[in-house]
Amino acid sequence: MTHNQFFHPKFSIITVTYNAEAVLEDTIQSIVTQTYKNVEYIIIDGGSQDRTMHIVNRYRTHIHAIVSEPDKGLYDAMNKGLKLASGEYVCFLNAGDCLHEDDTLHLMVHALTEAQSASPEMPLPDVLYGETEIVDAEGHFIRMRRFSAPEHLTWKSFRQGMLVCHQAFFARRELAEPYDLQYRFSADFDWCIRVMKKSRLLFNTHLTIVDYLQEGLTTRNHRASLIERFHIMRRHYGLPSTLIHHAWFVLRLAFKK
């Protein structure tokens, strides 16, 4: 990668939608108003029956690729988006979630530039990450995410849980494998771990990157998601480590009706 590309990385941002007319426009607006312009925006729709595509079409000139067809679920749609992406970094910002400010991407690139200036030998980070605000349906701040982004992140960090929100996790596209469709609710957790396992440098931007809509797929299917996450952690970290770090979770499953 050339020096110029490093300071002006192309971001592929993918939004997956299905009957999302109530929340989609805020998401699109948060992308198309970014002051940083080296952005490729992709929308993958699951064949919505409401006005979702009407909203998408109003912004067609700002969207690089649009797919609207039935799919096998959220993560199948995400895989379709990955196949279309061409940027250095890829991020998923689903309907209802927004980039935190109009200059969020600019500030991320600025943080990269400052780090490179201080350490010219620093390689291009494989992952960029930051903080997440939880917001309500009107976009009002509720709280910061329960987990704050750790200063130093590795694939082993997720033994404690998903310490970085998926939407605030920008991965080098060349490291981004397809999502594992055996997981219905937590394939993003597994995907992030697999990306980090192949990463040399994970860069904390020290920025709030995303406003995350409180009511999401994982939230609505909390118990099923937790069970999947337990199996994912066992797969990556082994059963003894998973039991030690999540004894509370095992007890909850044992006694919860």
pLDDT in tens, 222-253: 778 888 998 999 999 998 877 776 665 555 54
Give the pairing of strands 98-99 and 65-68. unpaired
pLDDT (tens digit per residue) in 32-54: 999 999 999 999 999 999 999 99
Global model pTM greater than 0.85 = yes
pLDDT (tens digit per residue) in 153-208: 999 999 988 999 999 999 999 999 999 999 999 999 999 999 999 999 999 999 99
Q: Which two tokens stand for residue 90?
A: 């890829």
pLDDT (tens digit per residue) in 198-229: 999 999 999 999 999 986 545 567 778 888 99
Q: Are 115 and 193 in contact, with CB atoms under 8 Å apart?
A: no
Determine the Cα–Cα distance for residues 45 and 67; give it in Å rounded to an integer: 6
Give the pairing of strands 98-99 and 11-17. unpaired
- For the chain, what's the residue count? 257
Structural domains of the chain in order of their starting residue, each with its CATH number:
3-216 (3.90.550.10)
Determine the Cα–Cα distance for residues 205 and 91; give it in Å rounded to an integer: 15
